[in-house]
Amino acid sequence: MNTCKLLLPSCMISLLCVPAFGQFSFTQPERLFLEVEDGKIEKPFKVTALADAGGNQVVTLKDKTNKKIGKVPGSEFYEGSIEFKINVKKGGEYLIWLRKRWEDGCGNSVFCTINKAMTLKDALVLGEDGTHSKLHWIRLGNKPFHLKEGVNTIRLQNREDGINLDMLAMIEFEEDVPLDEQYVPTGAEKANIKPL
């Protein structure tokens, strides 16, 4: 780049040299997508077909299921979990997204933990938004979560029935970009990882 400085005025340097720097020093953030139906699924969750879903399938918990099964005595949760063990090549801070279709306001959330056992103390609520009856992406909370290099475990747990879970996205957080201007997944993104 010293050659540029010698031969060109500074306005020319900014036009010619900076894009070249940018091209070589900037790496794209990681964007990982997986199908929920590829997780380790425990009843009463089950895989069902849904047009427009990623892989044309979702994991469904039928409405009114929890009324029938109730909570196991001594258990904090309704029965039914989905576990994903995923291999992350680049450790860092990630925003976690779920593509889902809620049936109504009494079926619009699921518990989630990242690299933690499912306990009431550590369970995060994913959902509780007002978009029902269509496939839609929702972010887990208002902050990124740490995913380490290597195997990470994401768990979902039955909180309410009447839900359809389609895809998960793990989007590497960009420190220089405001939270609400970060990359938002749209539509059925193409799955690019499979749980182990």
Q: Which one among 41, 45, 55, 126 touches Ca ion, defined by CB under 5 A? A: 55
**Amino acid type, 140:** L
Residue 88 CB, shortest distance to Ca ion, in Å, is 20
189 binds Ca ion (CB under 5 A): no
* DSSP code string of 38-62: GSEE-TT-EEEE-TTSGGGEEEEE-
Q: Does 161 bind Ca ion (CB under 5 A)?
A: yes
- Among 162, 164, 170, 173, indicate the residue that binds Ca ion (CB under 5 A): 162
Tokens (6 digits) for 176: 């220089």
CB of 159 to Ca ion, least distance (A): 10
CA angle 82, 85, 87 (to 5 degrees): 150
DSSP class of residue 179? G
- For residue 187, give both structure tokens: 């539509």
Q: Least CB distance from residue 117 to Ca ion, whole Å?
A: 26
Size of the site for Ca ion (CB under 5 A): 11
Length in residues, the chain: 196
* Separation of alpha carbons 44 and 49, rounded Å: 16
Residue 107 sits in the site that holds Ca ion (CB under 5 A): yes
Which residue in 32, 53, 61, 98 binds Ca ion (CB under 5 A)?
A: 53
Query: Is residue 195 at the binding interface for Ca ion, with CB under 5 A as the rule?
Result: no
Please tell me whether residue 106 binds Ca ion under the rule CB under 5 A: yes
Residue 39 makes contact with Ca ion by CB under 5 A = no
- Cβ burial of 68 (10 Å; 0-12, 13-18, 19+) is exposed
Give me the least distance between CB of 65 and Ca ion, in Å please: 8
The binding site for Ca ion (CB under 5 A) comprises 35, 53-55, 57, 63, 106-107, 161-162, 166
